[in-house]
Amino acid sequence: MTAAADASGWTPRPRPARAPGAAEPDAAGPAAAGPALVPAPVRVTSRARGTAVWERVHVVLDPALAGALPLLADLVVRRLGRRLTVADRPGCAAPAPSPGGPARPAPLPANGTASPVRPSADGTAPPAPPSADQPPPGALVVTLTHDPALAPEHHVLDVGPAGVEVRAAGADGARHAVQTLRQLVGPAAFRDAPLDASALPLPGVRVEDGPRFSHRGVLLDVARHFLPKREVLRFVELAAAHKLNVLHLHLTDDQGWRFEVRAFPRLTEVGGWRRESQLGSSRSPLFDGRPHGGWYTQDDLREIVAFARTRGVTVVPELDVPGHSQAAMAAYPELAAGTAPDEVWTRWGLNPHALAPTEAVLDFYRTVLDELVEVFDSPVVCLGGDEVPLDAWAADPAALARVGELGLEDVDELLPWFVGRLTEHLRGHGRRVSVWDEVGGARVPRDVVVNSWRGVRSGLDALRDGHDVVVCTEHRLYLDHRAAPGLDEPVPVGTVHTLEDVHAFEPVSPAAAETMAEDGAGRVLGAQAQVWTEQLDSPRRVDYATWPRLCAFAEVVWTPREMRERAGFADLERRLTGAHLARLDAAGVGYRPLEGPRPWQRRPGVPGWALRFDDLGQLVHTPTGER
């Protein structure tokens, strides 16, 4: 099969020879089994004839969809090496700017005066731009049409002999259509530079599509193991290619602080690195003896946010409090309850330290959050709240005195109180807070979003308390956990989450559906996969753990449940092996092969700690790695 056939499931006819100056012929071909798209779209209709990406691409743009133009230009110019011209759709006025909120970057020129992006071959200035109804001879015409009748993020993509038409209610829907077009082009659209200038066939197809959930997220932990900015940008690009729209960026933890705070420079000077790292699981006796560190400047993070915005991805920052904070305490010992740790933590697992529940500590974090909201435009900020060691407060006389001053019953009520105070501060910035599901009870404001990770019951409790919920279930959606039974997986930790397990996961259980129907209950906003990095110490290890399981997760949160269950895992496997893994190959993704790890992807000698559920539903260690 050709590369184009690998990418779309469609085998093109050879392009017929034509005389110089002759009109372009139709590039038609049968759509044998339909295009192999990931995630699977809602509705696909194959057409008898398609078209091709020729030397020139002319975009007719409704200004209401101008936010999709940077992504389309990146595809056409950088990846495919084609000449691009842009003209406004006749009779369309530029949309009014959105009231309030951070300013969005200006799109590429789309006012009828855009010129080809690269000069003529002889180095002279490009020709005058064409009008919208007179594209350059032989150009592929791509029309972006605003259709307010469509739901948010929904879109229609039509590919036929006359060209490509996209209809969407807004830029997000148009971006999704461009991502679908990118998959139809094939692996060439996933490379960073064109290999040649030959015509790229496009199958005749009509795709009507839109997401199941509004929150389709993936968490990337850069606190345990730092990832350079370029790798975060690459992760955003790949997530967006699978129509995910939230990057939850875990910026702080016991093992590192990655966010520059100008008011408190020691957070990165001291908290941004550790002297060594534990090798393997939290039970391992091994350490690597190598310092590890790094952090992002505020401008680095602004760049990540701005780039993500062009891809339709919102970056949700997480500063984890009042547990998982040893890096901050090592930098500023006065933050600690009781005796402060003397260094950034070098181990994994449950940490014994917590922040002191004082006004001074809250003021410290209010200042940190004031700087954070100047960098991130997300409507939601995550404050963590998970795995807080309540014993640290119970052993601290000052914390116990605080319980009495506040009229609380026990130290466990300090957790919702602490998070609630910072929630009030962020509400003053117009932001909403999310927390992990240990933070619950009547003291937690109802507008707080709960990330439900410990199982079904915690999510149901949050829904009944009126909280909106993002489903993050550990034993299906933690992608650092092992992808197969046995001990061949590199550093096998946690329970088994195979590719098929992830694809079969259902975020809305029958009990959740019943609970949401109750008066005053919250909603399931969507779901989120987690890429924790204790055992993922390099971009290659992140690739291995994430892909292609994140492809399966993307289908869970995008494709209608009935379609996904009716087609089954075999259909996803067919699309992966027949087309989509070739796209990931072209993008340079070091994914886990479906048949198991390659020799160089294994980590012999680095101990894991494999778990399974016993007959009573309890987690137990499995020395042989069975399920």
Question: Catalytic site residues?
Answer: 387
Helices marked H in 285-396 — which ranges? 298-310, 326-331, 359-375, 390-394
SS3 letters across 585-619: HHCCCCCCCCCCCCHHHCCCCCCCEEEEECCCCCE
- Strands 43-46, 200-202: pairing is unpaired
> H or E element: which one contains 231?
helix 229-241
Angle at 299 between CA 80 and CA 354, to 5 degrees: 120
Q: What angle do CA 422, 423, 426 make, to 5 degrees?
A: 85
52 and 81 Cβ atoms separated by less than 8 Å: no
Rounded distance between C-alpha atoms, residue 522 and residue 65, angstroms: 32
**Residue type at 541 in one-letter notation:** R
Cα(379)–Cα(365) distance, integer angstroms? 18
> For strand 449-452 and strand 469-471, is the pairing parallel, antiparallel, or unpaired?
parallel
* Alpha carbon distance 229, 501 (integer Å): 31
Which whole-number Å values give the CA distances from 373 to 218, 316, 419, 435, in the listed order? 20, 11, 17, 17
Q: Which helix (H) or strand (E) holds 276?
A: none
**Cα separation values, 178 from 460, 466, 612, Å:** 37, 37, 41
Question: Which residue in 591, 587, 590, 589 sits closest to 193, CA to CA?
Answer: 587
In DSSP terms, 458 is beta-bridged to none
The span from the CA of 384 to the CA of 283, in Å, is 24
User: How far is Cα 302 from Cα 74, in angstroms, rounded to an integer?
Assistant: 20
Taking a C-beta distance cutoff of 8 angstroms, is the pair 608, 281 a contact?
yes
Token code pair at residue 539:
């971009």
Cis peptide before 548 (omega within 30 of 0): yes
Q: Residue 322, preceding bond cis, omega within 30 degrees? A: yes
220: nearest Cα among 606, 616, 550: 550
Neighbours of 100 (CB within 10 A): 6
Element (H, E) at 58: strand 56-61
The neighbouring-strand residues paired with 478 are 530
> Between 229-241 and 298-310, two packed helices, what is the crossing angle to 10 degrees?
20
- The residue type of 413 is E
The answer to whether residues 253 and 319 touch, using CB atoms and an 8 Å cutoff, is no
| Closest among 408, 371, 594 to 502, alpha carbons compared | 594
Q: Contact 435/458 with Cβ under 8 angstroms? A: no
The length of the chain in residues reads 627
